[in-house]
Structure 1
């Protein structure tokens, strides 16, 4: 039976795996982009509208909120494709103007 006591483990260190780092550094904006901020705020507001519709049993308001959630996600994706997302050309240009953040 193998000795698995704390003293044995302290005296016989285990071998660890080598770390494999990514080839390049991650973007410095940490997701703080126009597309990310718009999508986050728009979805939160849309869910709030839909939630109020459910809370007060106003069916049309719940459906409007649900439609706004879908529209917010589509517009956010359009902003990302237009270059306002992570690694986009407009985001990189803004980073260059503001010193990387």
Structure 2
């Protein structure tokens, strides 16, 4: 059993190991872009529509909800290509206007 008394700890200080941090900081927006938020909310809306369709047993409304989800994914990709995604021109300009965030 290890000696954990105060006298032992005073005579034998513990050593700490060095912490190695990454060389650079991650991007400041962490995915908080127009493309990401638009995609998220449209897909969530489509999922809510599909869930309500299942509750009310409406098959056609379920497929409408799935269609909204697919449109959200396509719309998000289009926004990303247009520069509203991570690293896009519109996102970088927006960050610059807001002071880097």
TM category (shorter chain) comes to 0.7 to 0.9
Q: What 5-or-longer segments of structure 2 have no aligned partner? A: none
CA distance in structure 1 between the partners assigned to 2:65 and 2:53 by the alignment: 8
Which of structure 1's runs of 4+ aligned residues deviate more than 4 A? none
CA distance in structure 2 between the partners assigned to 1:18 and 1:81 by the alignment: 39
Q: Determine the structure 2 residue equivalent to 1:80.
A: 80
Q: What 5-or-longer segments of structure 1 have no aligned partner? A: 1-6
Aligned residue pairs total 96
Q: Determine the structure 2 residue equivalent to 1:26.
A: 26
Q: Determine the structure 1 residue equivalent to 2:66.
A: 66
Q: Determine the structure 2 residue equivalent to 1:45.
A: 45
Give the direction of change, closer, same or farther, for the CA distance of 1:53–1:35 in structure 2 (3 Å limit): same
**TM-score of the two chains, using structure 2 as the length reference:** 0.77
**TM-score of the two chains, using structure 1 as the length reference:** 0.77
